[in-house]
């Protein structure tokens, strides 16, 4: 990632220390002076409860970010069981906080909750996979068209630096680093429009794309993605919106087409024949 700029995508996936952060005690306000309206004093027990609530929120978010990072960097596979007690032991928190984190991840479609079966990393279906890429086509096509009109030389230089980081990660076989950088490229483009809502929306779609790529055994190479990113930046530098849209859509189509969304159904007799003999 480019120095000096922290993207929505990568800021959520930084390395997390799973230990809970102690709360800071709240000071009691001084008694009101003459002629001054009385202020409601926060009692010590109420302040402690407030501090404990903040610490719980921090611990819950730490769990959410750690699991999200592991999914985005393809360290957690679709369908992986997420046992509450095991997570509680890892993060040194109560199962209640783990449950809150899993509920949040479920709302983000990254975790699946099933009654009596617990939580597991989501395993997107074929229809959902196609819908995610369709959404990305619509959003990113419009995004680069607008960016081609307003992009500055400084922003082009920033993108060139990002591409340099991508190439370096690919060259040293840094799978986790290159996965983050290749996805982050799209969020960097969104942030250049100054639209943080768009950047966060795209970040969520990219995390789901990572799950889909794992689920359906993507054969799209990191080298191909890098080359396609270079072509997109070249078009943006020329302020050629039409070509930037075409290249972006071709890039996303290429990624989708390299997913095994239509696997051939094996002949059951042929698959089991050797075992039967």
Backbone phi, psi, residue 264, to 5°: -70, 135
Under DSSP, is residue 150 helix (H, G, I), strand (E, B) or coil?
A: helix
- Sorting pLDDT into bands at 50, 70 and 90, what band is 81? very high
Which of 45-54, 143-152, 253-262 has the highest mean predicted lDDT (pLDDT)? 143-152
Cβ-count burial of 15 within 10 angstroms (0-12 exposed, 13-18 middle, 19+ buried)? exposed
pLDDT surpasses 50 at 208: yes
pLDDT of 58 strictly over 90 = no
* pLDDT of residue 106 exceeding 90: yes
111 phi and psi, to 5 degrees? -130, 145
Of the two residues 183 and 45, the one the predictor is more confident about is 183
User: pLDDT tens across 239-271, in order?
Assistant: 999 999 999 999 999 999 988 886 555 555 554
Cα four-point dihedral sign 70, 8, 3, 244: positive
**Neighbouring-strand partners of residue 118:** 114
Proportion of the chain above pLDDT 90, given as a percent: 55
Burial 34-55 (b: 16+ CB within 10 A, else e): eeeeeeeeeeeeebeeeeeeeb
Q: Model-level pTM greater than 0.85? A: no
pLDDT recorded at residue 51: 56
Q: Which residue has the higher pLDDT, 39 or 115?
A: 115
Beta strands in 73-228 (DSSP E): 81-82, 111-114, 118-121
The pLDDT of 268-276, averaged and rounded, is: 54
pLDDT of residue 273: 56
* Token pair recorded at residue 137: 């086509």
CB atoms within 10 A of CB 235: 20
List strands edge to edge, sheet with 118-121. Answer: 81-82, 118-121, 111-114
């Amino acid at each position: 990632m480019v120095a000096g700029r922290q993207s929505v995508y990568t800021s959520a996936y930084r390395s997390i220390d799973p230990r809970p952060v102690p709360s800071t005690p709240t000071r009691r306000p001084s008694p009101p002076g003459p002629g001054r309206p009385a202020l409601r004093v926060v009692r010590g027990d109420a302040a402690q409860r407030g501090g404990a609530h903040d610490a719980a929120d921090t611990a819950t978010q730490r769990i959410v970010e750690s699991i999200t990072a592991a999914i985005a960097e393809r360290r957690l596979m679709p369908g992986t069981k997420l046992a509450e007690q095991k997570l509680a032991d890892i993060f040194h928190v109560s199962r209640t906080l783990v449950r809150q984190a899993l509920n949040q991840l479920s709302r983000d479609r990254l975790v699946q909750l099933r009654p009596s079966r617990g939580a597991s990393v989501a395993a997107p279906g074929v229809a959902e996979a196609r819908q995610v890429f369709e959404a990305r086509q619509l959003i990113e096509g419009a995004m680069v068209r607008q960016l081609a009109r307003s992009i500055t030389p400084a922003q082009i230089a920033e993108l060139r630096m990002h591409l340099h980081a991508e190439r370096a990660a690919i060259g040293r076989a840094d799978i986790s680093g290159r996965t983050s950088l290749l996805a982050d490229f799209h969020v960097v483009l969104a942030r250049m429009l100054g639209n943080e809502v768009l950047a966060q929306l795209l970040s969520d779609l990219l995390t789901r794309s990572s799950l889909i790529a794992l689920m359906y055994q993507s054969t799209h190479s990191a080298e191909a993605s890098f080359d396609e990113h270079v072509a997109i930046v070249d078009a943006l530098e020329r302020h050629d919106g039409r070509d930037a849209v075409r290249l972006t859509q071709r890039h996303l189509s290429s990624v989708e087409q390299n997913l095994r969304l239509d696997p051939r159904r094996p002949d059951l007799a042929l698959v089991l024949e050797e075992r039967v003999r």
